A = this chain, B = another copy of it.
Amino acid sequence: MRRSQRIAAITKILVERPHYVFSLNAFAEQFDAAKSTISEDLTLIRQTLQELRTGRVETISGAAGGVRYIPCLSGRQLWRRVDALCTKLAEPKRILPGGFIYLNDLAASPALLAEIGEIFAVRFAADEPQYVVTIETAGIPIALMTARSMNLPLVVARRSSRPTEGSVLTVNYESGSSRRLETMSLSRRDLQAGSRVLLMDDFMRAGGTLRGLTNLMGEFDCSVVGKAVLIETLEPQKKQVQEYISLIQLEELDEEHRSLRVKPSPWIEQQRDVDDLV
């Protein structure tokens, strides 16, 4: 195989599995090339992604060493993605009876979900979570895409426990929107005690669900190293959780006047003119 062909092949393998450590020996064997030749290929791939600000190729030395691809974005790229999403969300036809907002089509677009997942992966990589945790149903697509971009297992809490889950831990929580007491459950097998977890959901009003998930994590002796939502509403101002991050803020949803206002959240807004990688 020629250099350019090896580069195409190795790029494909790395990019298809972010954060996974591949051994240089395995590449050398697969492509019947010297390890030094593979190293040169990797240097070229690294330089390219660096120039394009579209990811890092990291070499890990030592016995368990190898190479992995880490998704990256510049602040500006990140802001652009979220700003484009805001434009998409601000369509008045999304307003549903009762002051709800139609979002199913976002969860329907794998390309968009992959972009969102990459943003969260970039943001939380330094916090080194060991699991991405969400609750059924609407949070699953963005949580899965984030887990994929971080090479982490996805854990999904259930609103009711099922016989196909084995023994479960259950907590009650107050849903912010309905103010009703709700239940969430997680199989004991799903999550190893003492792990670091990233909590995710698609939409947050008062934060009751994230608080419930936080309590559930406490039952598993897990520590929450990050909390992320795609969209938060500005009202109510007082949230039941602290130190979460959102990509988008829903400022106003006026059913009567068919008016809907969304904007990038403050930390996204800060990235607007940043050329450095986040």
Please tell me the size bucket of the interface on A.
35 or more
Determine whether the beta carbon of A49 is less than 8 Å from that of B12.
yes
A110:B48 contact, CB within 8 angstroms: no
Q: Are B9 and A8 in contact (CB under 8 A)?
A: no
Assembled-state Cα–Cα distance A113/B145 (Å) = 11
Contact of A108 among B16, B109, B190 (CB under 8 A): B190
* A181 to B: closest C-beta gap in Å: 18
Given B3, B9, B55, B113, which contacts A52 in the complex, CB threshold below 8 Å?
A: B9
Centre residue among A7, A20, A49, A113 by max chain B CB count within 10 A: A7
Q: Let me know if A163 and B98 touch, CB within 8 A.
A: yes
Stretch touching chain B among A146-154, A212-220, A259-267: A146-154
A113–B49 alpha-carbon span in the complex (Å): 26
Complex Cα spacing A5 to B52, Å? 10
Copies of this chain, count: 2
- Chain A positions 49 through 83: 1 when the CB is less than 8 Å from some CB of chain B, otherwise 0: 10110110000000000000000000000000000
Is the Cβ of B9 less than 8 Å from the Cβ of A7?
A: no
Q: Is A33 an interface residue (CB 8 A)?
A: no
Q: Does A87 contact B (CB under 8 A)?
A: no
Complexed CA–CA distance, A52 and B108 (Å):
31
* Cα separation A72 to B110 with both chains bound (whole Å): 19
Residues of B with C-beta under 8 A to A137: 136-137, 140, 156, 158
Contact residues of A between 1 and 29, Cβ < 8 Å to B: 1-5, 7-9, 11-12, 15-17, 20
Given contacts A7-B8, A8-B44, A12-B54, 10 further A-B contacts (CB under 8 A): A9-B54, A15-B16, A20-B111, A100-B164, A103-B164, A109-B153, A110-B151, A110-B154, A140-B141, A141-B144
29 CB contacts below 8 A, A to B, read A3-B4, A4-B7, A5-B48, A7-B11, A8-B8, A8-B11, A8-B49, A11-B11, A11-B15, A12-B15, A12-B49, A96-B164, A96-B165, A96-B166, A97-B163, A100-B163, A101-B164, A102-B166, A104-B155, A104-B190, A105-B153, A105-B189, A105-B190, A107-B154, A109-B153, A136-B137, A140-B140, A140-B144, A144-B144
Q: Which residues of A are interface residues toward B (Cβ below 8 A)?
A: 1-5, 7-9, 11-12, 15-17, 20, 44-45, 47-49, 51-52, 54-55, 96-98, 100-105, 107-111, 113-114, 136-137, 140-141, 144-145, 147-148, 151-156, 158, 163-166, 187, 189-190
